Structure 1
């Protein structure tokens, strides 16, 4: 009897302590002080309004007042860091070649029309700018704009070169980098721990395990940004009638587990920003901000700006 009472009181104490620290994490962890706060994030510069990852897209987003540019990096044969999502150029340029096999000056121009990955049956028609830019071009043109860098391949030279550029342009306080791969994120952190990193996919799974077990309030976290999809948008990207029952269940389960207000509130209280991608509809913007997300990543920066203006969602100070 005494043993049972002891176990019950111990478990009760743990649950109450965990609940308290979930709400008030600064009792155990010092809140991270970030150098920037991003609510409006332009995915690939705004792939629904200009050709993705072009200087024209980035300029348009910055002119609108975006808080952050999201982009992707690869390395050319002559070790130039270029801004491009795909390793192979076929989708974006029509040329079936890998970026890593070509020197920068040989890279072809983008197609006139590109599909918008996160908007079903949507094509973006580009203007005059079809050039694949260098990362240094972006840094030079937008010295005060935070940039979110997806390191697309597990390449030590690419990681080193990106770090060198970040340091050269004095952007360690204006840059976040990472990848879904934990190996890449570990290499990024090892190369330059002064540049904040994103949660990798395995670390997101660990984060959820800690959250649902009640252990999260007790565990230190090195990452400063959680960047996750809103799983429910898959029903807008694919024909709902073609989704199988198992696909619907998995989508529902992933959405239920990931989209948790208590989790987002706990992380933001610890100074960890939460970004949800890639949202292109007003109902999804609304849901993300109601859940407590720090920021929304979109292909349509004008659409998101108009939504924020109408709903009084303030820009970061």
Structure 2
């Protein structure tokens, strides 16, 4: 028992030491992208999600606020990011859309991957803002077109973009990579997927483009953290992008039963650990929490150590950041 205790104590002490000093085992990741303000689907509560108009109005807003406070444009600074979702059409066009089945966003019972781009319907507002209790976005009806990824790259050549590939489709991966290379965006683009199979394909397709964690990789990371193995394991991803579990009851399902509430609180406790977040940051892995839409959640996220927040309300988050800076 003495040797078991000695071995266990040594392991715990060693793991704890490297948890706080990971640079002794791993080189710190470096990224050209460092963002605090990330707009979910281009700010889905303020403009029609994933449209060119939403992106342009968002950047004009941020540029105006930052110009007044810092005399610089957010377009030229690494302080903001667009978060978008990708699908591919039947004729091989990469489009910016959260949904493959368009009944929610376009009120049409069709699939993006079964439709040529020219035949895709227009967005039909109002659109439900997913990560709110009961908010709807009516938006600017002058632009209801599902945008091409190439159009987004053309219009926002210097803007960091976070891309979620929603389906496991070889053509989507290849075409997206071709556009990244064409526009020379390897250093200002993040890509990834909740699907770990897609994530592994992205590594093979273009290892120069930084990735965010899949769901499976998040679970593995949590298990490694609580078993003390995380400090010893190399990590390929550069961005730890996870939901803040506390918003599940508050926003996504306020009527959750008691057992489900307890489960959500338990997951929140496991995931929202400052020691985990700080360890990842010491390794150069940025931590983004989503999708947060009120000041209390903004405040908690930054208190936990998050690098950035993904929000549907870019105006609200920008004002919060300015207020924090002035305070």
Normalising by structure 2, report the TM-score. 0.92
Matched with 2:109 is: 96
Structure 2: 5+ residue stretches without partners: 63-73
Matched with 1:235 is: 249
Change (3 A) 1:138 1:222: same
Conserved in 1, the CA contact under 8 Å of 2:87 and 2:97? yes
Q: How far did residue 10 of structure 1 move?
A: 2.2
| Cα deviations by residue, 1:254-274 (Å, 9 ceiling, x for unpaired) | 100111100000001100011
1:196 correspondence with 2:193: no
Q: How far did residue 112 of structure 1 move?
A: 2.7
Matched with 1:35 is: 32
Distance 1:281 1:32 in 2: 31
1:146 correspondence with 2:146: no
Q: How far did residue 313 of structure 1 move?
A: 8.6
Conserved in 1, the CA contact under 8 Å of 2:173 and 2:205? yes
| Cα deviations by residue, 1:160-214 (Å, 9 ceiling, x for unpaired) | 0000000000001111111111101001111111111111111111000110011
Matched with 2:19 is: 22
Q: How far did residue 239 of structure 1 move?
A: 5.5
Matched with 2:315 is: 302
Matched with 1:253 is: 266
Q: How far did residue 236 of structure 1 move?
A: 2.0
1:226 correspondence with 2:240: yes
Distance 1:311 1:299 in 2: 19
For the residue of structure 2 that corresponds to 1:92, the secondary structure is coil
Matched with 1:183 is: 197
Distance 1:310 1:239 in 2: 30
For the residue of structure 1 that corresponds to 2:95, the secondary structure is strand
- Single out whichever of 16-25 and 281-290 deviates more from structure 2: 16-25
Normalising by structure 1, report the TM-score. 0.95
Matched with 1:167 is: 181
- Single out whichever of 54-63 and 252-261 deviates more from structure 2: 54-63
In the comparison of the two structures, how many residue pairs are matched?
Answer: 310
Q: How far did residue 238 of structure 1 move?
A: 4.4
Structure 1: 5+ residue stretches without partners: none
- Single out whichever of 212-221 and 59-68 deviates more from structure 2: 59-68
Matched with 2:290 is: 277
Distance 1:117 1:215 in 2: 36
Conserved in 1, the CA contact under 8 Å of 2:105 and 2:125? no
